[in-house]
Amino acid sequence: MTTKSPLSPMPSPENSESTVGRRLRNLLVVLAAIALTVSLLFGIRTQTDTSTLTTLAENSTPLEVALSNGKPTLMEFYANWCVSCQTMAKDMGELEQQYADKVNFVMLNVDNNKWLPEIERYRVDGIPHFVFFGNNGEAIAQSIGEQPRTIMAANLEALATGNPVPHARTTGQISKFNAPVKSAKAGSDDPRLHGAQVVN
């Protein structure tokens, strides 16, 4: 027969509340850690896509060089915020490695006003917007929007071998883009600049 000694611990209401509180705190810490991990993974994924576009732009051939070096050229109008551009970045990077010795790759960021003349010339109103140039630097085809890798590969193969681009004028998923308005120059005859038609 066992008897309880006066020194044996008795469960107290304070101890059971302390255990529940500790367990609840631990559960909240675990949930916060999971939420932080998920957020970090999504953040890294987004950063990687943008970094890839930035890396492609940094490694691209300057426009002036591309249009005068005797190689065919693929020019892409893009922006870091463009979801379709980000989606295609990995494939474009791989295609660039595959065709680097045969085709110039030029990246023009539509957020840079430096490219406004090109944006207007090629009527860029959605991105990504691709312009294909022959060996002589003349535009021979365009395609707009997100393109499957197979379509881009076929276009690049044709461009590299001097054949007609098979998927010219294709349109895929785009990110809308509105070019900033260019300021009117004195004496401009451009009919789109309504103020240029008024003579003082």
Catalytic residue annotation: 82, 85
DSSP H helices, 6-147, are 13-59, 63-66, 83-99, 116-121
- Please confirm whether the linkage preceding 62 is cis (ω < 30° from 0): no
Strand partners, 157: none
Per DSSP, the three-state class of 89 is helix
Residue 88 burial by Cβ neighbours in a 10 Å radius (0-12, 13-18, 19+): buried
Strand partners, 133: 73, 139
CA 20 – CA 127 distance, rounded (Å):
56
Going 192 to 180 to 114 to 130, the CA torsion angle's sign is negative
Where b means 16+ CB within 10 Å and e means fewer, 135-173 reads eeeeebbbbbbbbeeeebbbbbbbbbeeeebebeebebe
